[in-house]
Amino acid sequence: MPFGCLALRDGRSYNSLSDVTDKYEIGQVLKAKEFCELCLVKERQTDKVYVCKKFLKKDGRKVRKAAKNEIMILKMYHCDTNLPNVLFLVATGGDVFDWILDQGNYTERDAANVIRQVLEAVAYLHSLNIVHRNLKLENLMYYRESNHNKVVLRDFYLSRFENGSITEPCGTPEYLAPEVVARHRYGRPVDCWAVGVIMYILLSGNPPFYDETEEENTDMHNRIIFCRIVAGEFEFDSPYWDEISPAAKELVCKLMEVDPMLRITAQDALLHGWIAGNGASEKNLKEGVCAQFEKNFAKAKWRVRGIYYHTQQSCTTCQVPLVTVLITLLENGTINNRITDKDSTVKIVMPNKAVVY
């Protein structure tokens, strides 16, 4: 199992809130969602800090439906009460995006190391018939600040088992595969497309599909993006791609193949020369990539627009506001929290007593 995937060894469930509070000291609420609250908790015996996802009592049927996929995907157990609690370790290594901005030297080899780990995680998920459905640069982070060699995936809220083709469109607009945008049946290849988008961004600092008009209307912006995605209209623009190796460009094209039947799989992508061989260049890309990162991402242009695009059973479109909770676990065990309005992702990755191989 790659580092970016999780499995639960302990099958314990908590049958009441008191079962949780007996073992954990519940702290401040980090974020309130429609169906749940995220709060800091500290294990009384060890002083280890976790994030607890507490599912609210109101509208129990909706709560169970909202929680079902994520809990199943993470192989957790939840009880039959109206207040199940799921515990996560706090991942403290920071976003891959922020790490790149902080480096003095950044090469294709660095990008290949990130993409390799993402592909390993995706290949493992796909071997279990799991589709992540919301892979994006913002959902990649490092497990520990002291070790930036281990990349982990987060945000399994939209993940689901591929028991037959999936029909409901969901995800973040700029990362959606053509078959999702076109409302066709889809499956695991959508994750490979998203990895291609991430790879494109890591190598150039630019998104492959963008709105040149700077349209402020979200619906209009998405229509422009979606038309280009369905047509597969992306280019290796100069000067951003002038120094990028042919092997990298080839893999991007294979991952972002419009026809899902012809799109490379995660397992096959791991065998590509850019990942498995010496195809990745050692030339420093820091200046060009980071300049585009800051232009396209650091100013939160994408993060503000990066709404979840999700069709409910009523066939209405739900646009979810974005909020980020940045959590840093300091060496002395204290917590420093910074809450902004730029993203919807909470930096929680590992479930309680998870085993990482």
For the chain, list the domains and their CATH numbers.
7-90+322-355 (3.30.200.20), 96-310 (1.10.510.10)
Q: Is the Cβ–Cβ distance between 56 and 37 less than 8 Å?
A: yes
**Pick the residue with more confidence: 235 or 16?**
235
Q: Is the per-residue pLDDT at 305 higher than 50?
A: no
**Which helix (DSSP H) or strand (DSSP E) does residue 26 occupy?**
strand 24-32
Using a pLDDT cut of 70, give the percent of the chain over it: 60
* pTM, two decimal places: 0.69
Task: Record the tokens describing residue 75, joined without a space.
Answer: 């192989």
Instruction: Encode pLDDT of 308-347 as tens digits.
Output: 333 322 222 222 222 222 222 222 232 333 323 333 332 3
- Please name which of 334, 323, 344, 349 lies closest in space to residue 90, comparing C-alpha atoms: 349
Label residue 285 by pLDDT band (50, 70, 90). Answer: confident
Instruction: Encode pLDDT of 120-162 as tens digits.
Output: 989 988 988 889 999 998 888 776 565 567 888 877 778 888 8
Task: Please report, for the chain, how many H helices and E strands are present, in that order.
Answer: 12, 15
* Span between the terminal Cα atoms of the chain, in Å: 5
